[in-house]
Chain A
Amino acid sequence: MALSSVDLKIDSGDFLAIMGENGAGKTTLAKQLNGLLKPRLGRVTVDGHDTTKKSVAQLSRKVGIVFQNPDHLLFSETVREEVGFALKNFGFEPGVVVKQVERTLESLDLAHYADTSPFLLSGGERKRVALAAVLAWEPDYLILDEPTIGQDYQQKERLRNFILQLNSQGKAVVMVTHDVEFVAECNPKVVLMSKGQIVAQGRADEVLSDDGLIEKASLVKPQMAKLFSQLAGFGFPRDVVDVHRAKMLLAEKLSEVRVRVAQSS
């Protein structure tokens, strides 16, 4: 069974990372959320509506999924058409479509590609076009399947800011990912999956610094967690996963040491 006994609740404004090894059931779970897959046992509801009683088109208006491989999603001749396609199909006014497309392209740094064919872009850029095509209709719940694949560090930073901005507007963002370092920097709530089941849920810093859970989900600890688990003897907390917090803690301790050394000499 790809999924079994999964209990999960997502609220508006949530930021969730579904993590686990290849084949753990992450993408299968994501597809349940907009009705692409319907449960054979159990129930999935979106805003109180049972997904078995709604069409994918109806659910998509609320739940937008951006797939791992952008090529499965792209088909238009220009980036502008691609991003406007769903908006037109949802019946928005032409004026609204134009405005919304411009805004989305601008925010994802794609405006200069508006008249280019999506297929002439690099893998990372096509991924952003696929994201723009979904964001354009402003779904309440956004599901991102491996959003960081093929993105360089600066693009990841941009993506991170973008997600935080959506969150602050009350949108729920769920990302399916095995990019532990990206999750460590974002600190969302982590849902850890293994063999079709949820094995843990909790804050990223708690989950990603827990050896037992990391082992269970076949993940690898972020570098900061590895570092701090080995520095625990110096009185540091173990649940440090991001560089920012690591730097603050170390800077404090190193300054103390320096003062001590200066005083004793």
Chain B
Amino acid sequence: MAGTQEEIVAAHGLGFQYAGSNVKALDDVNIVIRQGEFLLLTGPSGCGKTTLCRCLNGLIPNFHPGEMSGELLVDGVSVAAETTSELSRKVGYVFQNPENQLFALTVEKDVAFGPENLGLTRDEIRDRVDWAMDTAGTVALKDLAPYELSGGQQQRVALAGVLAMKPSVIVLDEPTSFLDPRTAEEVMAAVDSLRRENGITVIVVEHRLDLVGRYAERIVVMDHGKIVADGKVEDVLDSEFDRLSGLGIGLPKVSVLWSLLKRDGLVNERLPTHVESAVKMLSERLRD
């Protein structure tokens, strides 16, 4: 099925070195992402995952100077040939720290800022803002000032602002860190339904797999600027478990439990990625 979808992101031999740094933040990165994929991008701090995302929306090299090599295409066009404002329509970015991207006096104005700058009609702006605020669950906050909000609320407002641009790709940089677990699940579920209904491509950057693993179909693991694993979540988790834990990635607790039982020779199935499959496998064994 994936083969029939169009390529939205394609990197060939992509490299990047920040000005003043002597290590390559990205080193020969090759990846193709198709429209409508839900991809989990993970790896230890400093592995290059945020750098890769910054390339997608032109923050690199426009705002973070450095030396770029290789090729990166977004929607078939090289990012080097596009301005940041053109790219911002294609790739929406929700930053790790939402305080960094909110600035208007009210939540509603903040969400409307992007569409207002696209030269749309008033009605179209209104529709987009209403839809985005509703989808991100921020309607009740619309007249509040962003700085009055808690971290989790700010993150949802930042998401609404990005949605209002109707991008083809949404990048969420560690979205669950500032959110309480339930809000984090709600945001993930909202993003996933956007993907299913509108075909938006979702890239989530995370240390933790437990929350995102359920939605993501594909996991890409980076280390020292390179992609070291890329595949279906269940496959990668099972075959690369030791490597992933060595990299400090927060693996789902059921997978950790299973690997311990497996080590003692008590189970032999593939590692489960969520609780339901562990319950099923254990129930079968215990019923014997």
A residues near B (Cβ < 8 Å) are 20-23, 68-69, 122-125, 146, 149-156, 178, 180-181, 184, 218-220, 222-224, 226-227, 230-231, 234, 243, 246-247, 250-251, 253-255, 257-258, 260-261
The 9 closest A-B pairs by CB, nearest first: A22-B152, A152-B248, A220-B181, A223-B253, A178-B180, A154-B248, A22-B150, A254-B266, A23-B150
CB distance from B44 to the nearest CB of A (A): 6
Q: A21-B152, A122-B46 are in contact. List 16 more A-B contacts (CB 8 A).
A: A22-B152, A22-B180, A22-B183, A23-B152, A68-B151, A149-B178, A153-B248, A153-B250, A156-B250, A184-B253, A218-B183, A223-B254, A226-B275, A227-B279, A247-B257, A261-B288
Q: List 9 A-B contacts (CB under 8 A).
A: A20-B180, A21-B180, A22-B152, A68-B151, A151-B207, A156-B250, A219-B180, A224-B257, A250-B261
* Cα–Cα, bound, A123→B180 (Å): 19
Across-interface contacts of B279 in A (CB, < 8 A): 227, 230-231
B residues near A (Cβ < 8 Å) are 44-46, 96-97, 99, 150-153, 174, 177-183, 185, 207, 210, 245, 247-254, 256-257, 260-261, 264, 266-267, 275, 278-279, 282-283, 285-286, 288
CB distance from B226 to the nearest CB of A (A): 18
- Evaluate contact between A21 and B96: CB separation under 8 angstroms: no
- Judged by DSSP, the binding face of A is helix
Across-interface contacts of B182 in A (CB, < 8 A): 21, 218-220
Closest residue of chain A to B252 (Cβ to Cβ) is A223
* Cα–Cα, bound, A243→B179 (Å): 23
Partner of A124, one of B45, B183, B256, B267: B45
Across-interface contacts of B252 in A (CB, < 8 A): 223
- In the complex with contacts A23-B150, A150-B177, A223-B275, A254-B257 CB distance below 8 A: no
* Cα–Cα, bound, A230→B249 (Å): 27
- Evaluate contact between A152 and B249: CB separation under 8 angstroms: yes
* Cα–Cα, bound, A251→B267 (Å): 10
